[in-house]
Amino acid sequence: MVNVDDELDHQGMAIELIDAFAERDAAGLAALDAAGRAAQLQARQALYDYVDRIWEDAKARGLNPAVRPDWNVVAGLRDLTNALVEQAGQARADAGED
C-alpha cells in the first residue's frame, strides 16, 4: 500500500483540477454524439458511485471522514468525480438530450 501524505490538500488539488479541466472537458463532450455523451455520463456516474461508496462505508463504520485529514484524498476524489458527472449532464442538457 502506498503511503499518502496527509499534509497535502488533496481536496484543494482536486478543485484546481476541476477548474482547469472544465473548459476542455466541455469541448470534448460537445464534440461527441448523443450516444457518446450518454456513455460518458454512465461511466462517470459509475466512478462517482464507487468513490462515494468508500466514503459512505467509512461513515457507516462510525468514522467522520469529513473531519479526518487521512480522508481528504477521498473527499477530493468525490468532488472531482461529482464534477465530471455534472459536466457530462450539463453537456447533455446543452445538446437538448435531457
Strand runs labelled E in 1-98: none
**41-63 per-position pLDDT tens digit:** 999 999 999 999 999 999 999 99
Collapsing DSSP to helix, strand or coil, 49 comes out as helix
Q: What is the pLDDT of residues 63-98, one digit of tens each?
A: 999 999 999 999 999 999 999 999 999 999 999 997
pLDDT above 60: residue 1 = no
Q: 2: which 3 cell numbers?
A: 502506498
Task: Map out the domains of the chain as residue ranges.
Answer: 10-94
Mean pLDDT of 8-29: 95
Q: Which of 95, 85, 84, 97 is nearest to 22 (CA)?
A: 84
Place of cell 455534472: 86
What type of residue sits at position 76?
A: G
pTM: 0.90
Kindly state the average pLDDT of the residues 11-21.
95
Q: Can you give the pLDDT at residue 7?
A: 72
